[in-house]
Amino acid sequence: MCPLIEENEEMNVKSVIELTEKYKNQIFPNYRVECLYGKMKQKEKDHIMEEFKEGKIHLLVSTTVIEVGVNVPNASIMVIENAERFGLAQLHQLRGRVGRGEYKSYCILKYEGNSEIIRQRMKVMTNTNDGFKIAEKDLELRGTGDFFGTKQHGIPDFKIANLFEDMDTLKLAQKVAIQVMEEDSKLEQEKNILLKQMVKEKLGNQIGI
């Protein structure tokens, strides 16, 4: 996982294209390595993801285009380069792409810099898997002025709720959502038919229901 598509000399960060070439030619020459990013044609992206799911591609170098809606149960290792450049909630979303199958999985965060804030942010990611706690800590570490002054990466953009004023309501919604998925993961029960239709309208073919 890389924050950039192409190399930028002014920014000391890993890029998808740069890393893909390095992996192909130097580190993993005996394996099939491909890249994926948002500017690619949809048909090409779908083809690459399908081959990755089928195991024909061994290593996929990507941007955050895989942040949501991607389900590859066989994926068991994710390495996030320059993790300090991603929001905590975004890192939480990204690591959710592994560990979806039967295999023990790992998410490795590689970061540059040694500031106290960076260390605290990485510590949060290793200490909890609760999305709400991560979002609260993200706000605390950024500071309210920074959060409301500019658009932050990795913080959900809710249409109705306010992430912090409505935290109790959102936690209740999370609890209900978990209960629904435990009882009816395919949303096939009659009481969940309307919910299933709404989810399909929002996510389309990104989900398997």
Distance CA 140, CA 200 (A): 34
Q: Is residue 110 part of a domain?
A: no
Quick check: 200 pLDDT over 90?
no
Return the pLDDT at 170. Answer: 75
Return the pLDDT at 47. Answer: 93
Quick check: 101 pLDDT over 50?
yes
Q: Is residue 185 part of a domain?
A: yes
Quick check: 124 pLDDT over 80?
yes
The residue that leads in pLDDT, 159 or 196, is: 196
Return the pLDDT at 209. Answer: 59
Quick check: 132 pLDDT over 90?
no
pLDDT digits (tens, 9 = 90+) for 13-56: 788 999 999 999 999 999 999 999 988 999 999 999 999 999 99
Residue type, 61: V
What pTM was computed for the model? 0.64
Mean pLDDT score of the chain: 81
Print the domain residue range for 198: 159-209
The residue that leads in pLDDT, 68 or 187, is: 187
Q: Is residue 202 part of a domain?
A: yes
Residue 97 contacts residue 81 (beta carbons within 8 Å):
no
Q: Is residue 121 part of a domain?
A: no
Q: Is residue 141 part of a domain?
A: no
Q: What are phi and psi of 33, to 5 degrees?
A: -120, 130
Task: Identify which of 147, 155, 159, 145 has the alpha carbon closest to the alpha carbon of residue 202.
Answer: 159
* Integer angstrom CA distances of residue 121 from 23, 117, 174: 28, 6, 23
Model confidence at 207, in pLDDT bands (50, 70, 90)?
low
Residue 148: CB atoms within 10 Å: 11
Return the pLDDT at 208. Answer: 57
Q: Is residue 38 part of a domain?
A: no
Q: Which residue has the tokens 């804030």?
A: 117
Q: Is residue 90 part of a domain?
A: no
**Both tokens assigned to 139:** 């706000």
Number of domains in the chain: 1
Provide mean pLDDT across the span 112-119. 85
Contacts of 169 (CB under 8 A, 6+ apart): 161
The three-state DSSP-derived secondary structure of 124-166 is HHHHCCCHHHHHHHHHHHHCHHHHHHCCCCCCCCCCCCCCCCC
Q: Is residue 166 part of a domain?
A: yes
Q: What are phi and psi of 142, to 5 degrees?
A: -75, -40
